[in-house]
Amino acid sequence: MDLDELRKQINDIDERILALLNERAGIAKGIAEVKTKLGLPFYASGREAKVIGRLTRMNNGPFPDKSVQAIFREIMSATLALEKPIRIAYLGPEATFTHLAAIEKFGSSANFIPARSIKDVFSHVEHEWADYGVVPIENSSEGVVNYTLDMLIDSPLKICAELVLPISQFLLSKDTDLSKIDTVYSHPQVWGQCRIWMEENLPTAKHVEELSTSLAAQKASQNPGTAAIASFLAAKIYDLNILGSRIEDNVDNRTRFLVIGNNIGEPTGQDKTSIMFSIKDEVGALFNMLKPFGNHNLNLTKIESRPSRRQAWQYLFFVDFRGHISQMEAREALKELEGKCLLLKVLGAYPEDTSLG
């Protein structure tokens, strides 16, 4: 076939895709009406995970799995916007990695609301100014975000999804010549993640700390001879040149984010449950708390401790395990655990993010 014939085939396929997208949107409107009558939430993380997982397994190529996932996430985002414009609060300002995670999770058709703090993200959702919130919970290099754990203690909100995002840092500037940079703005944690690259490429540059990577990028956009360490999204938003790509010392740097909302999602077959509990101060107490998980063949993926804010020298433990709270094994384990601890709270049950292996 010649080029014109091949392009005609592409045009025919595109027209069929467009027709099917609109057919899908029409059905989605019908689903919205049913959900409204039944009082069901419009966004269902379990349903989303099942759809994307099934299509990924069906994909025989040559179209890449990652592209299939990205396209269908955007299709679902646009469809969801037809059902009900969904509002997402995130730890701002614009162009932070939490903003990037929110877009990755909900697609570009959602309405994104920047919040000044993690506490404000929780407050937005609790007061129904937003439908869901996105907050960081841990970084593979820097560890857990304690403030998020502290908010989960007393908040009525539930974890309803998670997202693990690769974190790549970029050196951004209005200038195009690296040798002209004498000042670099960055969040202190980010500077620590890029120390080796900075020492090798800008050893004499002055370091100015900012509250976020976005504020750093904003400063760099206003001052010649300066640069910022920030995300690729920040380069787009603040119209900055990229002077260094993926400058983080650890190429496997990742951050895990949580989606918080009012409901626990339905099981998908590949889920996590997060809980919090406190224990009596006695010999072997923690060992006894963990026994129920082994007794019921539940795999723990994380355990973290935090001092209780209610009583000195008392600790709270945060545990993630594979499985859904609705499953018999999980219910039996938590029933056994509840009889041994002072306090037990289920923080959420949600699809496990396995996108990065």
Residues involved in catalysis: 255, 257
Copy the structure tokens of residue 252.
């496997």
CA dist 165 and 259 (Å) reads 13
Nearest CA-CA partner of 228 in 192, 198, 191, 184? 184
Which residues fall within 8 angstroms of residue 39, CB to CB, at 6 or more apart?
Answer: none
Q: Is 47 helix (H, G, I), strand (E, B) or coil?
A: helix
Neighbours of 154 (CB within 10 A): 9
Neighbours of 128 (CB within 10 A): 9
Radius of gyration of the chain (CA): 23
Check if the beta carbon of residue 353 is closer than 8 Å to that of residue 164. Answer: yes
DSSP per residue over 191-241, as a string? HHHTHHHHHHH-TTPEEEE-SSHHHHHHHHHHSTTEEEEE-HHHHHHTT-E
End-to-end CA distance of the chain: 40
